[in-house]
Copies of this chain bind each other. A is one copy, B any other.
Amino acid sequence: MDLDSRQTSFVTYLGALQERITQGLELVDRSARFRNDDWKRPGGGGGSTRVLEGGAVFEKAAVNVSDVHGDLDPAFAAQLAGDGRAFRATGLSLVLHPRSPAVPTVHANFRMIVQGSSAWFGGGSDLTPYLLFDDDCRHFHGVWKAACDAHDPTHYARFKAWCDRYFHLPHREEHRGIGGIFFDTLGANEPGSLAAHDAFVRACGDAFLPAYLPIVERRKDLPTTDEDRAWQLLRRGRYVEFNLVYDRGTTFGLKTRGRTESILVSLPPVVTFPYAPEPPNDRARALLEVLRSPRDWV
């Protein structure tokens, strides 16, 4: 299959996945719907940004698909895994910020990039709890391990470690959450056929709802306290710090003048930045311990 056909097929898959995920989330939320913002990129291509705000379960949720192409800035082109300046980038990216502090924030991304004659896949998904439930962490990692194991028995361990390395805030000496999986340049710098990577990334896309929705279902109606909410709001500040200071997709997107609202839709709906906050209780301290020293969950 030629690269362009593969990428067109992949973005068709992503469009269907976006539909499946937004419908699944609406069924859980029950009170709010996604609105759709289609946009065009002046340099070529465009995307569909779907956002739900003010839901009963999701305070803010965004599921974006984009398919953009054109010519890369030469300095940036040289940093990528492919050759030349011509590129096409297709991806689905989601960040869900639940209202309840008992329900973790989640992020996922699945992408295929073509640069010149090179192509590669990247993506992953990671969980950011505010109250730590070991069961949830085991479930989330368990689903990703199963998705990985079906394709390559070495994937999970490597991609779990990659995730822990990537979602790290050096200035806080903390990880963003309890991890998940992260992978990049599959097909360029990583061994394996492009067709196999394609199948793997689609399997990851299919695994997203099973990895996350059961956690939402069992935590969304749990009673929480004002202290829990205050803790969630300030921990969301760390999410902002990571995305704006370190996240390559975000900083690259902003500096290359991507569609700002579709990039920054990842930011939490309400955030506090108190000075030098202390964890309010043992539960919060337990979370911090895990954020400082990632654990093996499965």
Instruction: Tell me, in angstroms, the Cα distance from A60 to B276 when the chains sit together.
Output: 13
Cβ-defined contact, B269 with A269, below 8 A: no
Contacts of A172 in B (CB 8 A): 260
Contacting B at CB under 8 A, from A90-112, are none
Contacts of A51 in B (CB 8 A): 275-276
In the complex, how many angstroms separate the beta carbon of A16 from the nearest chain B beta carbon? 23
Most chain B CB atoms below 10 A, which of A49, A60, A171, A268: A171
* A188 located at the interface, meaning its Cβ lies under 8 Å from any Cβ of chain B in the complex: no
In the complex, how many angstroms separate the beta carbon of A135 from the nearest chain B beta carbon? 30
* A13 located at the interface, meaning its Cβ lies under 8 Å from any Cβ of chain B in the complex: no
* A213 located at the interface, meaning its Cβ lies under 8 Å from any Cβ of chain B in the complex: no
**Could you list 26 A-B pairs, sorted by A, with CB under 8 Å?**
A37-B276, A49-B275, A51-B275, A53-B274, A53-B275, A60-B273, A60-B275, A62-B275, A171-B254, A172-B260, A237-B267, A240-B271, A240-B273, A241-B264, A244-B245, A245-B254, A261-B276, A265-B275, A267-B273, A268-B273, A269-B273, A269-B274, A270-B272, A271-B271, A271-B272, A271-B273
Task: Tally A residues with Cβ within 8 Å of B.
Answer: 33
Instruction: Tell me, in angstroms, the Cα distance from A261 to B272 when the chains sit together.
Output: 14
A residues contacting B by CB (< 8 A) are 37, 49, 51, 53, 60, 62, 170-172, 237, 240-241, 244-245, 251, 254-255, 257, 260-261, 263-265, 267-276
Cβ-defined contact, B240 with A244, below 8 A: yes
Top 6 nearest A-B pairs by Cβ distance?
A244-B244, A267-B273, A171-B254, A261-B276, A51-B275, A171-B260
Instruction: Tell me, in angstroms, the Cα distance from A176 to B164 when the chains sit together.
Output: 34
Contacts of A245 in B (CB 8 A): 244-245, 251, 254
Contacts of A261 in B (CB 8 A): 275-276
Instruction: Tell me, in angstroms, the Cα distance from A267 to B233 when the chains sit together.
Output: 14
Contacts of A255 in B (CB 8 A): 170-171
Cβ-defined contact, A270 with B271, below 8 A: yes
Instruction: Tell me, in angstroms, the Cα distance from A257 to B173 when the chains sit together.
Output: 10
Contacts of A37 in B (CB 8 A): 276
Contacts of A263 in B (CB 8 A): 171
Contacts of A267 in B (CB 8 A): 237, 273
Q: Besides A53-B275, A171-B257, A171-B260, 17 other CB < 8 A contacts?
A: A49-B275, A53-B274, A171-B254, A240-B240, A240-B271, A241-B264, A244-B244, A244-B245, A245-B245, A245-B251, A261-B275, A261-B276, A264-B273, A270-B270, A270-B271, A270-B272, A271-B273
Instruction: Tell me, in angstroms, the Cα distance from A268 to B268 when the chains sit together.
Output: 14
Instruction: Tell me, in angstroms, the Cα distance from A261 to B278 when the chains sit together.
Output: 12
Contacts of A270 in B (CB 8 A): 270-272
